């Protein structure tokens, strides 16, 4: 039996070995952030290892910088327990917890995106920063022999502490999204862990550019609702939402109503694959629309959320027009 010594002895767990730190911690209800299910792809399960554990793998050398490796950062999913191990957990885990929630509502937002509301357990409330995400666990079902979890951004406002809303897009053959879309029903229990993440609104007086695609609308909605709740009305906000066709648009009425009520908010949906986009909607790829909108960036900061491809393309457009990378924040949904 090996010891897992956490944060200088603050916590101690045991392991019989032959498992990763990520798995050993999860057995003890300490759930590291992860979007790839422990496959060494997302780089989110970072911990510091001071002594013990298996040797650094090639995957870790690709995912971590030389500086991070020198500072003892490792991937929790690639660090195997081979002996007693002393580790430090990232600060963002403080305040995150595991909740057994109940599904209160499920609605079709588009043909492949469902809105799901989870009610917090009786007597529990949740604190999070608008823009953060939770991990939703799908239990073992069908061909999946093990439970798996993935990251989903919270779509509701932090002021709503008794429930959490999500927009979940179906990925063909995806483990968690197939579970949510085809097996989860109102009244079911589900395990959620979090909150995690550093995608949140920075304090400044800059104009805000939000760019989202698909389910990337979730954290933007949470931030906008939070700004309304906190009466942050001194910053101009342009929210660009990119979709292929009209069938991919959702919450249009909601954002139209919000922009009517709040003059600082401007909602700009854009369709890339539609010849007749209709009124109040832009035509073209979201990157081209953003490019057309801004001759230059003077006092702006940008928040991007969606597929890695969309984020990469947006980064190019924004930086080419002079927006400093330090003023661009993003969550890649991969
Ligand atoms: C910080 C963060 C926040 C996120 N928030 C949301 C959110 O609010 N809503 C949401 O729907 N998703 C969100 N995601 C994506 C989510 O975590 C999962 O990656 C996604 O739902 C697929 O999970 P799965 O288990 O169904 O698919 P998996 O079983 O993991 O994957 C099945 C196959 O699909 C591929 N694949 C995985 N993800 C995608 C994808 N997004 N698009 C296309 N192919 C993919 C995989 O490479 C694999 O081949 C977020 C991701 C991150 C990192
Ligand atoms: S869980 Fe994704 S890299 Fe470790």
**Number of structural domains in the chain:** 3
Distance, in Å, from the CA atom of 147 to the CA atom of 191, rounded to the nearest integer, reads: 10
Residue 128 has pLDDT above 90, yes or no: yes
CATH number (domain holding residue 28): 3.10.20.30
Asked if residue 293 and residue 178 are part of one domain, the reply reads no
Cis peptide before 12 (omega within 30 of 0): no
- pLDDT, tens digit, 9 for 90 and up, residues 182-228: 999 999 999 999 999 889 999 999 999 999 999 999 999 999 999 99
Domain boundary among 147, 173, 196: 196
Domain boundary among 145, 175, 196: 196
Nearest CA residue ID for atom 27, ligand 1: 174
Distance 258 CA to ligand 2 centre (A): 37
Asked if residue 326 and residue 298 are part of one domain, the reply reads yes
Phi, psi angle pair for 328, to nearest 5° = -120, 120
Three-class DSSP category at 244? coil
Question: Angle at the Cα of 124 (from 121 to 126), degrees rounded to 5?
Answer: 105
Asked if residue 102 and residue 87 are part of one domain, the reply reads no
Q: Which of 7, 13, 167, 193 is nearest to 100 (CA)?
A: 193
Residue 145 has pLDDT above 90, yes or no: no
**What pLDDT does 70 receive?**
95
Helix axis angle for 286-293 and 308-320, nearest 10°, is: 20
Asked if residue 131 and residue 87 are part of one domain, the reply reads no
The tokens describing 161, both together, are 């502490």
CA dihedral 319, 321, 324, 330 (to 10 degrees): -50
Domain-embedded: residue 202: no
Q: What is the pTM of this model?
A: 0.89
Domain enclosing residue 140, as ranges: 97-196
Distance 83 CA to ligand 1 centre (A): 34
Contacts of 91 (CB under 8 A, 6+ apart): none
The answer to whether the beta carbons of residues 290 and 269 sit under 8 Å apart is no
Q: Which one of 39, 59, 137, 150 would you pick to mutate in the ligand 2 pocket, going by the greatest count of ligand atoms within 8 A of its CB?
A: 39
**Overall residue count recorded for the chain in this entry:** 334
CA dihedral 203, 133, 303, 176 (to 10 degrees): 180
Asked if residue 284 and residue 212 are part of one domain, the reply reads yes
Asked if residue 212 and residue 191 are part of one domain, the reply reads no
Distance 273 CA to ligand 1 centre (A): 23
Distance, in Å, from the CA atom of 295 to the CA atom of 179, rounded to the nearest integer, reads: 45
- pLDDT, tens digit, 9 for 90 and up, residues 52-66: 999 999 999 999 999
Q: Which of 105, 82, 111 is nearest to 21 (CA)?
A: 82
CATH number (domain holding residue 167): 2.40.30.10
Distance 332 CA to ligand 1 centre (A): 10
Domain boundary among 140, 169, 196: 196
Question: Which residue is associated with the tokens 């002996």?
Answer: 83
Looking at the chain, the whole-number percentage of residues with pLDDT higher than 90 is: 83
Q: Where are the alpha helices (DSSP H) in the chain?
A: 21-27, 58-63, 66-70, 175-182, 217-229, 252-261, 286-293, 308-320
CATH number (domain holding residue 227): 3.40.50.80
Q: Which of 283, 114, 281, 128 is nearest to 184 (CA)?
A: 114
Asked if residue 101 and residue 72 are part of one domain, the reply reads no
Asked if residue 302 and residue 270 are part of one domain, the reply reads yes
């Amino acid at each position: 039996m090996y010891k897992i010594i956490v944060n200088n002895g603050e916590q101690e767990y045991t392991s019989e070995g032959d498992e990763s730190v990520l798995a050993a911690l999860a057995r003890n209800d300490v759930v590291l952030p992860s979007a790839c299910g422990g496959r060494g792809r997302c780089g989110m399960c970072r911990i510091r290892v001071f002594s013990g554990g298996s040797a650094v793998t090639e995957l870790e050398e690709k995912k971590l910088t030389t500086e991070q490796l020198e500072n003892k950062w490792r991937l929790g999913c690639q660090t195997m327990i081979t002996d007693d191990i002393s580790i430090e957990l990232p600060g963002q885990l403080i305040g995150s917890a595991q909740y057994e929630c109940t599904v209160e509502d499920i609605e079709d937002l588009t043909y492949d995106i469902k809105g799901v509301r989870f009610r917090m357990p009786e007597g529990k409330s949740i604190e999070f920063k608008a823009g953060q995400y939770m991990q939703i666990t799908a239990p073992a079902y069908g061909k999946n022999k093990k439970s798996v979890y993935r990251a989903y951004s919270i779509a509701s406002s932090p002021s709503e502490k008794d429930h959490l809303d999500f927009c979940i897009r179906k990925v063909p053959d995806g483990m968690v999204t197939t579970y949510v879309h085809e097996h989860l029903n109102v009244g079911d229990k589900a395990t959620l862990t979090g909150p995690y993440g550093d995608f949140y609104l920075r304090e400044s007086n800059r104009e805000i550019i939000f760019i989202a695609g698909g389910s990337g609308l979730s954290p933007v909605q949470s931030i906008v609702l939070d700004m309304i709740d906190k009466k942050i009305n001194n910053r101009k906000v342009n929210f660009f939402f990119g979709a292929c066709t009209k069938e991919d648009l959702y919450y249009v009425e909601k954002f139209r109503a919000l922009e009517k009520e709040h003059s600082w908010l401007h909602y700009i949906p854009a369709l890339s694959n539609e010849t007749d986009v209709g009124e109040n909607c832009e035509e073209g790829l979201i990157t081209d629309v953003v490019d057309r909108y801004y001759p230059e960036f003077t006092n702006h900061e940008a928040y991007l959320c969606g597929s890695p491809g969309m984020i990469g393309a947006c980064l190019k457009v924004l930086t080419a027009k002079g927006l400093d990378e330090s003023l661009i924040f993003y969550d890649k949904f991969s």
